[in-house]
Structure 1
Amino acid sequence: MSLTKPNQDLKRDLQGIASDLKWSAVELMRIAERLSLAGNEADAQAVLRMCNVFHDGEDRLVGYADEVKTGRIVRGKVE
């Protein structure tokens, strides 16, 4: 199924934001590790919980991008 330009842009945007979330979660995991090594386990655990939220959001956005690709989600015209 060929995507319209607006739907291609939407898919690309969703994938880009998902990638940004993934990168952010990786960086936060590094910060959490440093916090833990410094003895600040409570903050390390809080940062790890943030990572889980980011990973969940990433998964949802990738799923939405897949739905755009299959035509289940379509960007309409703004009137």
Structure 2
Amino acid sequence: MGLTKPNQELRRELKSLGLGLEQAASEVLNLTRGCQGEEVIAALKLITKLYENADRLATLADEVKAGQISRTAELRR
């Protein structure tokens, strides 16, 4: 059975947010090219957190697809 429209929208939103986090992590990585020492360590910690959050959003999107998480029409923005 396919996803309901609210669940399709939720899945798309989660995937979009995850992609945005991955792009932000990539941009932060590019900004660290000229940095050294503690600046790089701080940036790498931030990048790691961004990728962890992106992975979590991807997992939630998969759970929506599997029907484990759903959105009702009343909860949509």
Deviation of 1:15 after TM superposition, in Å, equals: 0.1
- Equivalent in the alignment of 1:73: 69
| Unaligned stretches of 5+ residues in structure 1 | none
Deviation of 1:33 after TM superposition, in Å, equals: 2.0
Structure 1 position 57 matched with structure 2 position 48 = no
**TM-score, scaled relative to structure 1:** 0.87
Q: Secondary structure at the match of 2:74?
A: coil
**Match for 1:57: what amino acid?**
N
1:31-50 matched pairs, under 5 angstroms: 31-36=31-36, 41-50=37-46
**TM-score, scaled relative to structure 2:** 0.90
| Aligned Cα root-mean-square deviation (Å) | 1.3
| Unaligned stretches of 5+ residues in structure 2 | none
Would you say the 8 A contact 1:32–1:45 is kept in 2? no
* Structure (1 or 2) with the larger CA radius of gyration: 1
- Equivalent in the alignment of 2:19: 19
**Match for 1:47: what amino acid?**
A
**Match for 2:31: what amino acid?**
I
